[in-house]
Structure 1
Amino acid sequence: MDSAEDVLIQLYDRWRGPLLHYVLKLVDGDYQQAEDVVQETLLRAWRHYDELKPDDAAPWLYTVAKNLVISGYRRRNARATEVPLEPVDLPPVSDQVEHVLQTWQIASALRALTPEHRTVVIELYYRRRTVAEAAKTLGIPPGTVKSRCFYALRALRDALEERGVTEA
């Protein structure tokens, strides 16, 4: 099995150009916005490297990129009811759409946390460190890690409930 870094390099080499071309059309040629969307898409792919195969990742990547563009459009145009997107011939999207949407909502809720709370959650849950390892990495006492984690998870739960994400 390839490492996360190997998969990301393969995804980047194979899909960065086509994704950028696709997203540029969606954002009316705004190169900086397109670059941001592509980077966020590849960051999310890195988080799911164990589920993606670089040669078959197109439906997942294009769906995430399109959803990021739509989300950005909605944030900028709160009154808009429809997003004008040109139809594109893409392979059919797999059943992972719901998973991708939940992941996006979790990432959005995570970004809403304070930086201190967010870093603790990332260390403990995304990097899978113990409390002691996270404390050492962050340079704070283990009790502070536990406290921040408690409040961060509570804030995350509340934020996700506001977004309509509930436990399965």
Structure 2
Amino acid sequence: MDVTVIGSASGVSPEERALRDLYLEHGPAVHAYVMRLLGGDTHRAEDILQETLLRCWNAQQLADNEDMAIRPWMFRVARNLVIDAHRTRAARPLEVSGATWLTELRSDVDDIERMLSAMVIHDALQALTPAHREAIRAMFFADHTVQQAATALGIAQGTVKSRVYYGLRNLKAVLQERGVS
């Protein structure tokens, strides 16, 4: 609200003069109160302050504000406007910002990356000896313990540990040859 325009116009009505005085006297305090309620959102706080002043104007309480404690009334109106705005936003579907497509795209990229990584690892596993490949599959892909893997493969636990150790070393070397770190 531009106070200078209201104050400088010729033939200013008593209501307009009262509105200007009300803004000058109570505006900063109401604005600070609304800013606290809104967590520092300046634009919304200015909208709430303007709506509060308009409600004062519409209630025609300005010309005879001596009879009424106007500041508490303004604080109550501002608080109610903040609550109403919050309820309105909560009742509507979630607003979508222009950047959400980027996060959706990134999740698609993550899925594609996972799929490509799985393909690379599958190909790299084919380069290992069958014994190493079976031990790694039993331990990591079947999620077996050493004892469970040894039972499933029909070999000793120490052999499973050895095959997994050397299989992982070879897998790392194969992946490095293919440019995967």
TM-score range, shorter chain: 0.3 to 0.5
* Greater helix proportion: 2
Structure 1 length normalisation: TM-score?
0.42
Structure 2 length normalisation: TM-score?
0.39
Relative contact order, CA 8 A, sep 6+: which one is greater?
1
Larger Rg: 2
